[in-house]
């Protein structure tokens, strides 16, 4: 068997190199041909929660502070509630922190609530009635309305700032009671907080 001369070996090596390069180039072309692509981007996506705020004009004072109440006595006061929200929502009122009396005074005080415009915590002057929110019921019944879902008012608010005035009237009603039953109410105390809540839709 003839051995390959060194010169012939060099020629074979040189000849093989271009073939290898051509083959590699073919592989690159195939790779480039398979890598065509297109892209598009929708940038700047983010999420920000809406904000809701609810205030009233009572400056932290109680709407009613009635001392030495007597049978037949009545009173009316207003409160202005303002919603400031970036999303639509619903405002409702409900009772919290009820104080029930020993002899059931809360069942001898009737309350009614109306909603409208005008008036303020200081005075109901200028109040314009739009609807009756709570017909005349016993304060004890109002105490049972103690969650947002059961709440009264149902005021739908849009994004932005809006206000509504609520006028509440109470009466110490002793009709149908005997004198002895009325006398048992002397010195009795009852009370409740009215909470207004705004929840977004």
Tens digits of residue pLDDT in 39-48: 646 556 656 4
CA 152 to CA 133: how far, in whole Å? 6
| 52-200 CATH pick, 2.40.128, 3.30.70, 3.40.50, 2.60.40 | 2.60.40
Cα radius of gyration (the chain): 40
When pLDDT is averaged across residues 50-64 and rounded to a whole number, the result is: 71
For residue 194, what are the contacts with CB-CB under 8 A and spacing of at least 6? 63, 93, 94, 95, 96, 168
Residue 4's pLDDT band (cuts 50, 70, 90): very low
Q: Is the pLDDT of residue 159 over 80?
A: yes
What is the model's pTM?
0.74
Angle (CA) 51-193-170 rounded to 5° is 120
What is the CA angle 141-144-56, rounded to 5? Answer: 95
| pLDDT confidence tier of residue 131, bands split at 50, 70 and 90 | very high
| Residue 34 reports pLDDT greater than 50 | yes
* Residue 102 reports pLDDT greater than 70: yes
User: Would you put residue 140 in left (φ > 0), alpha (ψ -120 to 50) or beta?
Assistant: alpha
- Residue 15 has what pLDDT? 27
Query: What mean pLDDT comes out for the span 21-27?
Result: 34
Yes or no: say if 135 and 175 are a contact pair by the CB < 8 Å rule: no
Domain boundaries, the chain: 1-37, 52-200
pLDDT band at 20 (very low <50, low <70, confident <90, very high): very low
Give bridge partners of residue 196 from the DSSP assignment.
93
Lookup: tokens for 122? 């200081």
> 56 or 15, which is more confident?
56
């Amino acid at each position: 068997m003839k051995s390959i001369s060194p010169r012939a070996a060099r020629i074979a090596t040189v000849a093989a190199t271009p073939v290898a390069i051509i083959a590699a180039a073919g592989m690159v072309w195939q790779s480039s041909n398979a890598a065509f692509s297109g892209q598009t981007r929708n940038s700047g996506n983010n999420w920000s929660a809406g904000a809701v705020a609810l205030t009233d004009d009572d400056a932290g004072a109680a709407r009613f502070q009635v001392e030495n109440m007597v049978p037949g006595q009545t009173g009316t006061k207003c409160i202005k509630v303002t919603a400031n929200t970036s999303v639509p929502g619903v405002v409702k009122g409900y009772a919290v922190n009820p104080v029930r009396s020993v002899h059931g005074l809360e069942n001898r005080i009737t309350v009614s609530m109306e909603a409208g415009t005008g008036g303020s915590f200081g005075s109901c002057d200028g109040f314009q009635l739009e609807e009756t929110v709570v017909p005349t019921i016993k304060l004890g019944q109002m105490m049972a309305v103690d969650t947002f879902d059961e709440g009264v008012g149902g005021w739908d608010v849009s994004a932005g700032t809006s206000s509504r005035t609520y006028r509440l009237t109470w009466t110490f009603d002793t009709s149908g009671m005997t004198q002895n039953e009325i006398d048992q109410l002397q010195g009795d105390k009852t009370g409740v907080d009215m909470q207004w809540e705004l929840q977004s839709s």
